Amino acid sequence: MKKSLIFFLILNLLFSSLSIAQDEEQADDLVKNTQQDILTVAAAGVGGAIIGLSTLSFVSRPSRHISNIWTGAALGVIAGVIFVGYNSAQKGSEDLQSSAEFNSLERFAWHEDSTPFLGLDSQPSLSFSQSF
């Protein structure tokens, strides 16, 4: 009973919309995205637990295989974290990819401008010297 009360208090704290930053719009967006990510991971965990629970009907003694529920929940949470991480990584690259005018030539020019120290203008040369 005590553990479930602590669990619900922690969830309440996580899902409360606190905006401490000065720019409230940006803070609200961050809180909204974080809540959505947590809910995605939790839903994946619940889905995995349901799949683990469904495997109990295929065994002769389900009480011996209760760990399937926890294994399914763990795999669901792992899949949810991977999904959220992938989506978060893709959010930064959407700005460049959404521009229809950012074709290959402009991309090459952007790379050339952003990395001037590599000396892309000069041709690489390789020479060998051998003496006996």
* Structure tokens given for 73: 């929940």
Query: pLDDT tens digits, residue range 35-69?
Result: 999 999 999 999 999 999 999 888 888 888 889 99
Contact 74, 48 (CB under 8 A): yes
Band of residue 20 on the pLDDT scale cut at 50, 70, 90:
very low
* Structure tokens given for 78: 């792992």
Q: What is the pLDDT of residue 79?
A: 95
With H, G, I as helix, E, B as strand and everything else as coil, classify residue 5: helix
- Per-residue pLDDT at 22 exceeds 50: no
The domain locations on the chain are 31-86
With H, G, I as helix, E, B as strand and everything else as coil, classify residue 22: coil
Q: What is the pLDDT of residue 37?
A: 92
pTM of the model: 0.53
Question: What Å distances lie between residue 100 and 16, 66, 89, 97, 113, CA to CA?
Answer: 39, 52, 21, 7, 20
Ramachandran angles phi, psi of 126, nearest 5°: -135, 125
Q: What is the pLDDT of residue 107?
A: 72
- Give the Cα separation of 61 and 54 in Å (integer): 13
* Structure tokens given for 6: 């602590």
Q: Is the dihedral of CA 25, 27, 30, 36 positive or negative?
A: negative
Band of residue 75 on the pLDDT scale cut at 50, 70, 90:
very high
